[in-house]
Amino acid sequence: MRHFLLFLSFFTLFFSCKAPEARKPVSISSGSFINESINRNKELSAREEARIQKIIKEDTLNNYIASDGGFWYYYEKKDTLATTTAKFGDIVNFNYDIKNLNGDLIYNQKELDTVNYAIDQEDLFFGLREGLKLMKEGEIVTFLFPSYQAYGYYGDDHKIGTNIPLISRVTLNKITKQSTKEN
Please tell me the predicted confidence (pLDDT) of residue 178. Answer: 85
pLDDT averages per 10-residue partition of the chain, 183 residues:
64 62 66 85 94 96 95 95 92 97 95 95 94 96 97 91 96 87 50
The domains of the chain are located at 39-176
141 to 69, 95, 125: CA distances (angstroms): 16, 11, 16
- In whole angstroms, how large is the CA radius of gyration of the chain? 30
Q: What is the DSSP letter of 27?
A: S
Residue 139 near residue 85 (C-beta atoms within 8 A): no
The top-level CATH class assigned to 39-176 is alpha beta
Overall residue count recorded for the chain in this entry: 183
pTM above 0.95, yes or no: no
